[in-house]
């Protein structure tokens, strides 16, 4: 499937141990969101509630489109697995998202086990109208804990729907065996300008589209 080729171009987002991005994206698509009769994306819990570790994101790095002129729109981010440990059991991320984070604590993983994030844009009505995947810069970089614009992508709704309709094992299998040998390597995607969009595509002409 062509959309899987697009995701494979994200060389480090959860592909290898102990990165959790792909499992996080699967959980988000399969368990956290649903689509109502008007095709609006509805969250299982309001991100404002901080369930599953969601918290407000102010877009200080300006990696996402400005919402200053959009009244009562806001960004929320999820994926910090340290936050997850302190949550009530009914609003924690599932074990398949956190397993490798926990098992890698005994290794010098250089925070590779907690880099991946999903950012959503919440509408004034509580629905979600935009979804992004991103990651922190590599541990020890000059950028500190900022998010990496060159590794920030908008995820199209059709792609989310396709992931939602897959079994997790089949979804992960698209990306090949998970390696344990490269989790100390810094991200090395080719730099680009602007947030890119990952959409479902049926034509070979569709590629990573810059917004």
Predicted local confidence at residue 176, as pLDDT: 75
4 SS3 class: helix
State the alpha helices, DSSP H only, in 61-143: 81-84, 95-103
Predicted local confidence at residue 108, as pLDDT: 60
Hunting for tokens 């004034």 — which residue is that?
Answer: 124
Euclidean distance between CA atoms 158 and 117, whole angstroms: 20
Residues in the chain where the model's pLDDT stays below 70? 1-11, 106-111, 142, 179-211
Euclidean distance between CA atoms 108 and 128, whole angstroms: 36
CB burial string 110-145: b at 16+ within 10 A, e below: eebbbbbbbbbbbbeeebbebbbbbbbbbeeeeeee
Within 8 A by CB and 6+ apart from 127, the residues are: 36, 40, 41, 42, 43
Predicted local confidence at residue 11, as pLDDT: 67
In which domain, by residue range, is 100 found? Answer: 2-210
* Angle formed at CA 34 by CA 158 and CA 136, multiple of 5 degrees: 70
Structure tokens at 203: 């034509």
Predicted local confidence at residue 142, as pLDDT: 67
The predicted model scores a pTM of 0.82
Of 147, 111, 112, nearest to 132 (Cα)? 147
Please state the φ and ψ torsions of residue 148, each to the nearest 5 degrees. -90, 110
Predicted local confidence at residue 183, as pLDDT: 45
Predicted local confidence at residue 174, as pLDDT: 82
Domains identified in the chain, total number: 1
Euclidean distance between CA atoms 150 and 136, whole angstroms: 11
Euclidean distance between CA atoms 65 and 60, whole angstroms: 11
């Amino acid at each position: 499937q062509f959309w899987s080729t697009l995701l494979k171009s994200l060389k480090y987002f959860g592909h290898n141990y102990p990165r959790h991005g792909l499992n996080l994206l699967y959980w988000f698509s399969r368990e956290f969101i649903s689509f109502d009769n008007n095709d609006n994306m509805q969250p299982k819990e309001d991100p404002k509630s901080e369930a599953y570790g969601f918290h407000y994101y102010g877009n200080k790095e300006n990696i996402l489109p400005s919402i200053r002129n959009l009244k009562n729109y806001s960004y929320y981010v999820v994926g910090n697995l340290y936050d997850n440990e302190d949550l009530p059991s009914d609003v924690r991320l599932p074990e398949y998202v956190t397993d490798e984070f926990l098992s890698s604590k005994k290794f010098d993983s250089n925070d590779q086990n907690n880099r991946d994030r999903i950012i959503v844009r919440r509408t004034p009505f509580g629905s979600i109208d935009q979804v992004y995947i991103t990651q922190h810069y590599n541990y020890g970089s000059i950028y500190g804990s900022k998010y990496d614009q060159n590794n920030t992508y908008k995820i199209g709704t059709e792609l989310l729907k396709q992931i939602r309709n897959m079994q997790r094992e089949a979804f992960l299998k698209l990306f090949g065996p998970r390696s344990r040998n490269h989790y100390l390597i810094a991200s090395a995607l080719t730099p680009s300008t602007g947030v890119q969009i990952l959409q479902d595509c049926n034509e070979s002409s569709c590629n990573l589209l810059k917004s």
